[in-house]
Amino acid sequence: MTTHTNLNKQWKLKARPVGEPTLENWDYNEAEVPSIGDGELLVKVLYVSLDPAMRGWLNDAKSYIEPVQIGDVMRAGTVGQVIESKHDGFSEGDFVVGYAGVQQYAVSDGKGLHKVDPALAPLSTYLGVLGMPGMTGYFGLLKSGEPKSGETVVVSGAAGAVGGLVGQIAKIKGCRVVGIAGGEDKCKFLIDELGFDAAIDYKNENVKKALKEACPKGVDVFFDNVGGQILDDVLTQINFKARIVICGAISQYNNTTPVKGPSNYLSLLVNRARMEGIVVFDNVKEYPIAMKEIGGWIQSGQLKVKEHIVEGIETFPDTLMMLFKGENFGKLILKVGEQQ
């Protein structure tokens, strides 16, 4: 049996946020590390995934997944290491991805846990391009966006975990790719590092005007992570039979007023275009195909991985907010432990 410290630092939901989640909404707790029974295993959490979707899980509303309940450890995707096992399927030392939550240790009966190989890709990657954001971008773009070579693909939140991947896959598919992101550094990165054809800095540019210049042939696919005014601006530039993939609306998640609906949605009618929502879980059976293809692109150098790793479970409430302030640059990950 591996030794471990006796404390399990964890963050629980204290109260549902109205608007932006603040410190008031969270309960920091130091619990005993739990012990395991037959058929169970103990995971030491190494990396916690921080994703915009987490904001939605805090609302007490019907959605694609149950809300996190008050008093629960906050739900989060994680990579961890098995440090004790009474489960036939897992051995001490195994690396596993799953939803262990925002804490340092978790007991599991093995359900929803999957072993991953750190020799094939860095562990954090399993929360990014080989994890939920990767699967979201891959299936969302290819199945709903259906980009064809020569078409123009626009992606918002382009320097984020999903957006960066979507743009790069669209490039691999032979499209003209335009990213929308906040700030000069991110825009420069999209072009210089990820190979986007153009980038629009929504914080400093008139997006509608910039889109006209960056998309002289109009927009065939829009992969939207942000919603709000940017969605409305892109709607004015779409082509006949355009496809708009609704992946998220991070600009609206902390609203205390109603969500801003796309005022220009009748552009769908004028252009016989479609707007479709996606949720990653629908493609679970095909994850291995996507992981293999993405892994291949990484190895061949066609796809670059950008991660933003922040250390220390104590920082969770502030680090989560980086997503909504647009402060993360690449996939945001909280490092909470060292592998043994």
Binding residue (CB under 8 A) for a second copy from 1, 35, 38, 269 = 269
Tokens found for residue 188? 């420069």
Give least dist CB 133 to a second copy, A. 15
Binding residue (CB under 8 A) for a second copy from 148, 272, 292, 325 = 272
Which of these ranges, 68-76, 181-189, 194-202, 265-273, lies near a second copy under the rule CB under 8 A?
Answer: 265-273
Residue 227 found at the interface with a second copy (CB under 8 A): yes
Binding residue (CB under 8 A) for a second copy from 185, 276, 286, 318 = 276
Q: Report which DSSP code applies to 90.
A: -
Residue 273 found at the interface with a second copy (CB under 8 A): yes
Size of interface with a second copy, in residues (CB under 8 A)? 33
Residue 285 found at the interface with a second copy (CB under 8 A): no
At 302, is the secondary structure helix, strand, or coil? coil
Binding residue (CB under 8 A) for a second copy from 86, 115, 203, 274 = 274
Binding residue (CB under 8 A) for a second copy from 199, 211, 275, 336 = 275
Residue 160 found at the interface with a second copy (CB under 8 A): no
Residue 264 found at the interface with a second copy (CB under 8 A): yes
If the CB atoms of residues 58 and 310 are measured against a second copy, the closer one turns out to be 58
Binding residue (CB under 8 A) for a second copy from 36, 268, 321, 322 = 268
Residues 47, 44: Cα–Cα separation, whole Å: 10
Residue 31 found at the interface with a second copy (CB under 8 A): no
Radius of gyration over every alpha carbon of the chain, rounded to an integer in angstroms? 20
Looking at the DSSP bridge assignments, the partners of residue 10 are: 29, 103
Cβ partners under 8 Å of residue 161, min gap 6: 51, 128, 129, 133, 134, 137, 330, 331, 332
Which uninterrupted H or E stretch holds 242?
A: strand 238-246
Provide DSSP, 117-180.
-TTTS-GGGGGTTTSHHHHHHHHIIIIII---TT-EEEEESTTSHHHHHHHHHHHHTT-EEEEE
Residue 21 found at the interface with a second copy (CB under 8 A): no
Answer yes or no: are the C-beta atoms of 109 and 76 closer than 8 Å: no
The strand pair at 26-32 and 176-181 is best described as unpaired
Residue 216 found at the interface with a second copy (CB under 8 A): no
Q: Report which DSSP code applies to 43.
A: E
Binding residue (CB under 8 A) for a second copy from 165, 246, 303, 336 = 246
Residue 147 found at the interface with a second copy (CB under 8 A): no
The two most distant CA atoms of the chain are separated, in Å, by 66
Binding residue (CB under 8 A) for a second copy from 14, 208, 260, 304 = 260
Residue 64 found at the interface with a second copy (CB under 8 A): yes
Residue 288 found at the interface with a second copy (CB under 8 A): no
Q: Which residues bind a second copy (CB under 8 A)?
A: 62-64, 227, 232, 246-249, 252, 258-279, 282
